């Protein structure tokens, strides 16, 4: 098992290295200028390029960059924040996005599971219909629409929550973005949980458990939930990454200095900030790869059929 | 089927219909089945004849779109204090049925061992569950009993297998586990819903022998649901032939195999190949079972019956008694009906079979 985990981690790191290289190449190929060129003369740009080593051959640039990254140094922004170290800017953004995203994940998963289980247990009845309508709404309506709606209702009409994000009152001002971000996850999880549970309820092994004399809560907790949860983990993983990395539009509208907003600024600013785009790209990839690794290992815990063992399968 | 005192399960005039998108399907139309203590009965018939639905009704496992229109399923048992009890399973609330009957008194072995075990739970735990539910056993006692059961159903290295998950076992082994689960709370009645259909032929005989062996050891009454007449001949005391939601012929094994009276039973027997079948084509009953969305008028088998008479289109035949053990529902048995013999090929085959059987007497 340890060997398997180590192998998987090794693969993950290798994948990340390849992605870093590709990102590095793509950023260099991208049309546009890394500097706010309208405010700079040709000489200034040439100086800046030389200073940042952008005129060196690309492989030298790459290894220099990689060396920095390995030491935790992502360089400086080429156009954003007057060249402040990316590490500092990024850690604030990560902290904001992760906290808001994390709250959205917890809320979405918990309420989603409750809704899905309720719907499955009342299949075909009113509650099932209610949950279905709710899930369809939650999946179809983009989160920023909810955000604007909540902002209008609970900040403007009823001035209870802050109108814009306020880092000094973090918990309080995180409510509106977290709730609006959680709705998509909530609906997806609710729909999946319901469908999986209904399927498991129809399965032969639940029939057998009933024939054994099991019913009600015991049947659900011992046989239905665990089997229904396995596929839900798969759906949850990409949702987690999406939420952690912040929602571009939600962060922009609510004025949150998060990863999403940083990404928009890095690409759509005066110049394309090479180093920010790269750092964020690596961060996204690392998160995806990391979460997928966790999910794969979690599968083994949940589903004995996938568990890797040294034992030979006997007939 | 013999003395009424010994009847352990008595299904009377069971009538079940299903609501579907296409309409109401009248799946069971007055089935009567009774089972005596220690006896083995086999319910045979084509797919859709209602054999599984009837047994699901006994277990309280009917799908939610099923309605029981009438009938009763009387279960007679001796309770803990030694008193004789008699309950109608259809009137029991689900919770009570699960707590007092399912597993503990009436257990079931399902058709497909590949899907009937929970893939995320060790087989040991799945066997012990029944004991925890009904017997209030301690963990150690349940474990010991589960290992004993695994040995009883012929699983080698039971101690080691106890911790296995279902996917680590073959189909035959899994069916043995399903049987062990069914036996875990010492039931009186074992319902086997096509227990060998999903298994390969070499394993089939062994599973059947196992069930018969256990039946003797534990004094079980067994109901087989099957469409395999070979299984029936091997295991059953009595045979019930079902067609379109009704029992059309009842008899002991000799009655059904050597002296069948219902044209449907003739068809079933003719459709079973034997070593001497020299026809180029294997016989099959023409047509298909009636669509129970539209209730057939008269005898449900009339449309496929080459011997059908005018009355078959008009009225349903009652059960005619042929002997003390043998009854069939066909107008051909009416005293006024023309005398019709079973098809000559079948007759020849039964003669061959009888001769074959005599060799072993």
Residue A241's CATH number: 1.10.3720.10
If you measure CA to CA, which chain B residue comes closest to A299?
B120
Number of structural domains in chain B: 1
- Full residue range of the structural domain in which residue B279 is found: 253-359
Report the residue from B112, B118, B120 with minimal CB separation from A209. B118
How far apart (Å, rounded) are the C-alpha atoms in residues B164 and B126? 11
Q: Tell me, what's the pLDDT at B290? A: 81
In a domain? residue A209? yes
How far apart (Å, rounded) are the C-alpha atoms in residues B350 and B46? 21
Q: What are phi and psi of B10, to 5 degrees?
A: -135, 110
Element (H, E) at B327: strand B327-328
Number of structural domains in chain A: 1
Set of chain B residues whose Cβ sits within 8 Å of the Cβ of A223? 118, 121
Q: What are phi and psi of B30, to 5 degrees?
A: 85, 60
In a domain? residue B9? no
User: Alpha helix locations (H) across chain B?
Assistant: 51-59, 94-100, 123-135, 139-152, 158-161, 171-183, 201-218, 229-235, 253-258, 263-270, 310-314, 344-359
In a domain? residue A8? no
Looking at per-residue pLDDT, the higher value among A49 and B7 belongs to B7
In a domain? residue A16? no
A66 touches B: beta carbon within 8 Å: no
If you measure CA to CA, which chain A residue comes closest to B177?
A208
In a domain? residue A205? yes
In a domain? residue A140? yes
In a domain? residue B235? no
Q: Tell me, what's the pLDDT at A10? A: 92
Q: What are phi and psi of B231, to 5 degrees?
A: -60, -45
Q: Enter the pTM of the model.
A: 0.81
CB contact under 8 A, B115 and A315: no
- The mean per-residue pLDDT over the stretch A223-231 comes to 88
Q: What six digits make up the tokens of B31?
A: 């089935």
**Torsion angle of the four alpha carbons A190, A196, A198, A203, in this order, in degrees rounded to the nearest 10:** -170
Looking at per-residue pLDDT, the higher value among B166 and B285 belongs to B166
* Residue B113 to chain A, least CA–CA distance (Å): 9
In a domain? residue A58? no
Residues 156-215 of A with CB under 8 A from B: 203-205, 207-215
User: Alpha helix locations (H) across chain A?
Assistant: 2-29, 42-51, 58-70, 86-121, 126-140, 143-151, 170-173, 175-201, 204-212, 216-219, 225-244, 248-254, 259-268, 274-302
pLDDT tens sequence across A247-262: 778 888 888 888 888 8
The rounded percent of chain B whose pLDDT value lies above 70 is 97
How far apart (Å, rounded) are the C-alpha atoms in residues B190 and B271? 28
Q: Tell me, what's the pLDDT at A36? A: 67
pLDDT band of residue B1 (cuts 50, 70, 90) is very low
In a domain? residue A108? yes
| Average pLDDT of the residues of chain B | 86
- Full residue range of the structural domain in which residue A243 is found: 95-258
Three-state secondary structure call for residue A79 = coil
Report the residue from B112, B118, B122 with minimal CB separation from A223. B118
* A313 contacts: CB under 8 Å, gap ≥ 6: B168
């Amino acid at each position: 098992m340890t060997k398997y985990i180590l192998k998987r981690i090794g693969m993950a790191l290798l994948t990340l290295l390849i992605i870093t290289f590709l990102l590095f190449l793509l950023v260099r190929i991208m049309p546009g200028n890394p500097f706010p060129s309208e405010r700079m003369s040709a000489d200034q740009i040439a100086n800046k390029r030389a200073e940042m080593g952008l005129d060196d051959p690309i492989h030298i640039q790459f290894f220099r960059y990689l060396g920095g990254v390995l030491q935790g140094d992502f360089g400086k922004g080429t156009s954003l924040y007057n060249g402040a170290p990316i590490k500092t800017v990024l850690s604030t953004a990560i902290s904001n996005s992760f906290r808001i995203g994390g709250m959205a994940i917890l809320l979405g998963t918990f309420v989603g599971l409750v809704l899905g289980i309720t719907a499955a247990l009342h299949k075909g009845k009113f509650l099932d219909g209610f949950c279905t309508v709710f899930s369809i709404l939650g999946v179809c309506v983009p989160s920023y629409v909810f955000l604007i709606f909540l902002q209008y209702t609970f900040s403007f009409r009823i001035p209870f929550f802050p109108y814009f994000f306020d880092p000094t009152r973090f918990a309080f001002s995180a409510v509106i973005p977290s709730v609006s971000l959680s709705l998509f996850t909530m609906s997806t999880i609710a729909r999946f949980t319901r469908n999986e549970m209904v399927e498991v309820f129809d399965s032969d092994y639940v029939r057998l458990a009933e024939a054994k004399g099991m019913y009600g809560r015991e049947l659900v907790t011992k046989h239905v939930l665990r089997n229904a949860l396995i596929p839900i983990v798969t759906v949850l993983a990409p949702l987690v990454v999406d939420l952690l990395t912040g929602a571009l539009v939600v962060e922009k509208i609510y004025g949150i200095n998060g990863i999403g907003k940083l990404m928009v600024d890095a690409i759509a600013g005066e110049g394309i900030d090479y180093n920010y785009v790269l750092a964020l790209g690596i961060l996204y990839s690392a998160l995806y790869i990391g979460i997928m690794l966790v999910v794969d290992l979690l599968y083994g815990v949940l589903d004995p059929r996938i568990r890797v063992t040294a034992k030979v399968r006997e007939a | 089927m013999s003395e009424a005192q010994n009847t352990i399960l008595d299904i009377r005039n069971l009538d079940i219909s299903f609501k579907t998108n296409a309409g109401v399907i009248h799946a069971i139309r007055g089935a009567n089945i009774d089972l005596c203590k220690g006896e083995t009965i086999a319910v045979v018939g084509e797919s859709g004849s209602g054999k599984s639905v009837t047994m699901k009704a006994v277990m309280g496992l009917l799908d939610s779109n099923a309605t029981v229109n009438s009938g009763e399923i009387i279960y007679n048992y001796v309770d803990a204090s030694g008193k004789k009890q008699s309950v109608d399973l259809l009137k029991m609330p689900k919770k009570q049925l699960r707590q007092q009957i399912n597993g503990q008194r009436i257990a079931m072995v399902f058709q497909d061992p590949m899907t009937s075990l929970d893939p995320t739970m060790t087989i040991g735990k799945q066997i012990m569950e029944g004991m925890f539910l009904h017997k209030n056993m301690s963990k150690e006692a349940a474990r010991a009993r589960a290992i004993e059961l695994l040995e009883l159903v012929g699983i080698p290295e039971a101690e080691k297998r106890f911790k296995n998950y279902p996917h680590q076992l073959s189909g035959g082994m899994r069916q043995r586990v399903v049987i062990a689960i069914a036996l875990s709370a010492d039931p009186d009645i074992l319902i086997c819903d096509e227990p060998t259909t999903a298994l390969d032929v070499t394993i089939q005989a062994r599973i059947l022998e196992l069930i018969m062996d256990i039946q003797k050891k534990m004094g079980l009454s067994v109901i087989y649901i099957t469409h395999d007449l070979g299984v029936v001949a091997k295991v059953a005391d009595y045979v019930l032939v079902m067609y379109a939601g009704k029992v059309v012929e009842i008899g002991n094994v000799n009655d059904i195999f050597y002296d069948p009276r219902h044209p449907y039973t003739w068809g079933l027997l003719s459709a079973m190949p034997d070593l001497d079948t020299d026809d180029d084509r294997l016989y099959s009953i023409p047509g298909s079972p009636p669509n129970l969305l539209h209730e057939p008028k008269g005898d449900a088998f009339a449309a496929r019956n080459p011997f059908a008479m005018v009355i078959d289109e008009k009225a349903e035949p009652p059960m005619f008694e042929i002997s003390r053990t043998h009854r069939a529902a066909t107008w051909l048995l009416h005293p006024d009906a023309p005398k019709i013999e079973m098809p000559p090929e079948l007759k020849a085959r039964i003669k061959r079979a009888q001769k074959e059987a005599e060799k072993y007497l």
